[in-house]
Amino acid sequence: MKSAILLVALSVCWFAQPTAAADLTPVEVVEEAVSLLAEKMDGRKEELAADREALYALIDEMLLPRFDRKFAAQMVLAKHWRDADDAQRERFINAFYQALLRRYADGLLEFEQDRVTVLPFRGDLSKPRATVRSSVMMNDGTKVAVDYELVKRDTGWLLFNVVIEGVSYIRNYRAELDSEIQSSSLEAVIERLEKEADVPGDE
């Protein structure tokens, strides 16, 4: 179930509306993203459940404008980012996202707007990062805490991390990939992600 929540939470990041983004507060970025995602999913769940390529395309349609994929990838790779050349960095950014999408795409089909409650912001907007807290109602009535972490850029607030019940997806993948890189190599990890995500690598 947490996998489904992660994909929904990441999708909220991806579907954040780019219009007038520089004028939006962190809470408005998340609230508008939840509404837009609900609009894009309305009446299409059966269609998307039967057509994964359409599901991927729906997410890709709104991906880039408001999610800082490069910053997220850099934080996931951590020290290994410094060892990577420019081509490896670009390949990792793309392959890591595509692999995440394919691993958790079905979770998006569980999204229901009325189960998401975005809480009032209690941070300092003058700082370069902000956290927007929310809760997601599960089928059994329990609530799961989902926090969105954002970084301030010239174009506005960009989302880069999701924390579910205190567990950060960036920290999780950093630990997982660090172990894999240590036992093989960064190039091997990138190639594995590209294969998993069916992304063409360097020939």
Sorting pLDDT into bands at 50, 70 and 90, what band is 203?
very low
- The full 3-state SS of the chain, as one line of letters, equals CHHHHHHHHHHHHHCCCCCCHHHCCHHHHHHHHHHHHHHHHCCCHHHHHHCHHHHHHHHHHCCHHHECHHHHHHHHHCHHHHHCCHHHHHHHHHHHHHHHHHHHHHHHHHCCHHHEEECCCCCCCCCCEEEEEEEEECCCCCEEEEEEEEEEECCEEEEEEEEECCEEHHHHHHHHHHHHHHHCCHHHHHHHHHHHHCCCCCC
More confident site: 7 or 126: 126
What's the confidence (pLDDT) of residue 183? 97
What are 24-79's pLDDT values in tens digits?
A: 889 988 888 788 778 888 888 899 889 988 888 877 765 555 678 899 999 999 99
The CATH number of the structural domain formed by 2-197 is 3.10.450.710
Average pLDDT, the chain: 84
Phi, psi of 33 (to 5 degrees): -65, -40
The answer, as to whether pTM is greater than 0.95, is no
CA-to-CA distance for 114 and 107, rounded, in angstroms? 16
Task: Tell how strand 156-164 and strand 116-118 pair up.
Answer: unpaired
